Amino acid sequence: MKTFLKLLLLVLVAGAIIFTVVHRNTTQGEIKKCTGVEITIVDSLQMCFIQASDVRDILNKKKIKIEGEPIDSINNSVITEALAESPYVDTATCFHTNTGKLCIEVVTKQPVLHVMAENGQEYYLDRHGCTMPIGGFNVNLNIATGRISKDFATKQLTAMACYIQDDPFWQPLVQQFHVVSERKIEMYTRLGEHTVILGEPKDIEEKLTKLRTFYKEGLSKAGWDTYSTIDIRYKGIVVGERKDKDKKKHANPTPTPAAPAPAKPTQAPATPAQPKPANPPKQEAPENPVVQETPANAETPANAAPAANNQQDQ
């Protein structure tokens, strides 16, 4: 009786082992092939630059087969490299699940500037300095116009555009940049009808911090339409040019050319020269100046000195 029970127990254990092995092999055989594809698009701006259907189109054009194919034959690196060729894709990753499904995650590029160069080129510029085709997308971004080459845009304008995009104060206020030359960039904001002269696209944080202080403590008192241009290129100083209606009162007059000196006489003239007045009239100074003011169309000297005591250096 004991021997029979032992034999029965051995048979049951052997059967359980055989069933487990067969079931495991059968299950593994079922998931050795890809059971499906799950595509996730990560788009911080929700602009839908690329959709799941676009991902499938890219893979089909590259003749990359996934569903129903043996998992061992699917090369994840080939898939991610094919997707990275899209001008709208920042990064792409993929992995297999335990059920045999292939998961693909695509992160789209984030544009920070809309470039409309005078040479006819138009594109978006992303945070890494890469260009993106406009396509049929309409993104609410700052616009850059003027003499802009792609090399200048990707290497010089990217950092400036990212700073504006990330700053909660300037992001809603800045409207447009205009590149006059590589050393002179103008900026237009939604505050007043003046032009801000940035100069070269460097030291942007320092320049805009100075401009922000001037906006809050200067223009808020003097008036947003007081100046036609506000120049922040020079360290520790803001140079403003008043509009036409105020230039006669506040702007420094443009000197007129001196008349040619007469020939030196051989003997003293019969009529003595008129003496100078004892108290010459003084030129009227601007009331409460907040910036150094210049006449219209005058070139601001690089070594200009601050003209106001209440101007703040940044």
- 200 domain-assigned: yes
Report, in angstroms and rounded to the nearest whole number, the Rg of the chain calculated over CA atoms.
36
For residues 82 and 209, membership in a common domain is answered with no
User: Which segments in the chain show pLDDT lower than 70?
Assistant: 1-31, 245-314
For residues 159 and 236, membership in a common domain is answered with yes
Domain CATH number, residue 84: 3.10.20.310
Q: Hey, what are 177's tokens?
A: 């940049």
Count of domains for the chain: 2
For residues 115 and 71, membership in a common domain is answered with no
For residues 140 and 239, membership in a common domain is answered with yes
The residue with tokens 């907040």 is 290
Give the pLDDT score at 277: 39
For residues 61 and 81, membership in a common domain is answered with yes
233, 285 contact by CB (below 8 A): no
- Residues of the domain holding 99: 36-108
Tell me the C-alpha distance between 173 and 208, whole Å: 12
Give the pLDDT score at 293: 55
DSSP letter for 295, please.
Answer: -
The last residue of one of the domains, among 108, 135, 158, is 108
Instruction: Give 3-state DSSP helix, strand, coil % of the chain, rounded to 5.
Output: 30, 25, 45
Which candidate, 48, 180, 171, places its Cα nearest to that of 117? 180
- 115 domain-assigned: yes
For residues 152 and 227, membership in a common domain is answered with yes
Which candidate, 300, 301, 309, places its Cα nearest to that of 217? 309
- 8 domain-assigned: no
Tell me the C-alpha distance between 110 and 137, whole Å: 13
- Residue-wise pLDDT tens digits, 207-220: 999 999 999 888 87
For residues 64 and 147, membership in a common domain is answered with no
